[in-house]
Amino acid sequence: MTAAPEIRRALVVEDDVDIRGLLVQILKREGFEVTEAATAREGLEKARAGADLITLDLNLPDGDGVEVCRAVREFSDAYILMITARTDEIERLTGLETGADDYISKPFSPRELVARINSLFRRQSRQAAVDVANADERQRAAEVQKNLLPRDNLRIQDYELAGRFRPSRSVGGDFYDWYGTPDGLHLTVADAMGKGMGAALIAATVRAIMRSVAPQPSIETAFATAARATEADLEQTSSFVTLFHGRLDAATGVVGYVDAGHGLALHVAADGGVTRLSSGGPPVGAWPDQAWPPGTVSLRPGDSLAIVSDGLLDIYETVDQFTEAVAGVITAASSAEDACAVLLDMADVPEVADDVTVVVLQRLLG
């Protein structure tokens, strides 16, 4: 079944009866649904009803077409084609700077008028096609980024692990990743500077590099190797990445970690006490040849390790307020998954314009 063609609406604002009639006839022949106005006031009223194209005379009995154009631009993005006997170059520039899309002088050729109108709408069609292609590309990128996140819950005896991610746009620079090891698990949370496609590409690169160093037994050596491999790309893009990487020994509950400028990893004790883990240095890519000393934190039964990106920080005046709020959510939550969901919901406010990522690792009570 063939879709009905879209009806295009035109408004002719012209005080000369003969010229107005000619314009109406030409536009109807080109498939437009046409309304008419003989004055500036009437033209503005009818423009508010909606139009895709407005032909506008500059010399109207109750006002100047330039002022009408300026007023129309306050509420409409219709194409405006100025038609006038004024051919002075200054007035031509004045009209276009006011918001007109094109300018044709009287007397005009009907063929030239049609050619100019078709040119305006071809431009619109090309832009619409570009917009559709860009939207499709963003959708595919979002699907790729989603598929790079851990797909399945990683089950480790006596532990629960959960994560959530919400980009500020269709794709974002945050990511989290985890995978099991013979001793427990490795997990990474990172935030690439910026938003959108560029940040997402950097995040995907960092994820791949962090996975490539997983076999190295020393977390300090592994992280240094990954940082060196990442620095060249970050330098070329004038970017940097804040990054938390941890390795859990499930038998002991000890998490060895490296924090490169992230600074928002929290150890929440079973009794609700909270400690923010110290950062070991600047973000990766901020300065060359940096070293990041590792740290450790021990998870006792009932303890949790929460790593949150700075998007959630935007709704609090201080880091201490943020720390207490996150600890309160985790302590009150029935599970790590529930805690992540609540924290992500807290970020669903206008104040948060950044990507938001939350990962919670909880050691279960015996």
Q: From CA 255, how far away is CA 4, in angstroms rounded?
A: 63
| Residue tagged 């923010």 (tokens) | 276
Segment 2-20 shows an average pLDDT of 80
Listing DSSP states for 26-89 in one string gives HHHHTTEEEEEESSHHHHHHHHHT--SEEEEESEETTEEHHHHHHHHTTT---EEEEEES---H
User: Mean pLDDT for the chain?
Assistant: 84
Q: Tell me: pLDDT of 33 over 90.
A: yes
pLDDT at 213: 92
| Residue 248 pLDDT level (bands cut at 50, 70, 90) | very high
pLDDT at 2: 39
Global confidence as pTM: 0.61
Q: What percent of the chain has pLDDT over 90?
A: 46
| Residue 239 pLDDT level (bands cut at 50, 70, 90) | confident
pLDDT digits (tens, 9 = 90+) for 266-324: 999 999 999 999 888 899 888 887 889 999 999 999 999 999 988 788 788 899 999 99
Residues 6+ apart with CB under 8 A from 298: 252, 253, 254, 255
Structure tokens at 189: 């949370």
pLDDT digits (tens, 9 = 90+) for 77-117: 889 998 877 666 545 556 567 788 888 888 888 888 888 88
Q: What percent of the chain has pLDDT over 70?
A: 83
pLDDT at 91: 59
Q: Is 156 exposed, middle or buried (0-12, 13-18, 19+ CB in 10 A)?
A: middle
The sign one gets for the Cα dihedral 137, 139, 143, 146 is positive
pLDDT at 125: 53
CB 76 within 8 A of CB 57: no
Segment 338-358 shows an average pLDDT of 81
Q: Tell me: pLDDT of 144 over 70.
A: no
Which range, 149-163, 242-256, 272-286, is most confident?
Answer: 242-256
pLDDT digits (tens, 9 = 90+) for 126-143: 555 555 545 555 555 455
Segment 318-346 shows an average pLDDT of 92
CB 169 within 8 A of CB 196: yes
User: How many CA atoms lie within 13 Å of 239's alpha carbon, on the beta-carbon side?
Assistant: 22
**β-bridge partners, 256:** 247, 296
pLDDT digits (tens, 9 = 90+) for 163-179: 988 876 545 567 889 99
For 290, the 3-state DSSP assignment is coil
Between 65-72 and 40-48, two packed helices, what is the crossing angle to 10 degrees? 20
For 168, the 3-state DSSP assignment is coil
Q: Tell me: pLDDT of 12 over 60.
A: yes
Comparing CA positions, the residue from 184, 170, 251, 239 lying closest to residue 214 is: 184
pLDDT digits (tens, 9 = 90+) for 44-70: 999 999 999 999 998 899 988 888 998
pLDDT digits (tens, 9 = 90+) for 178-229: 999 999 999 999 888 766 666 777 888 888 899 999 999 999 999 999 999 8
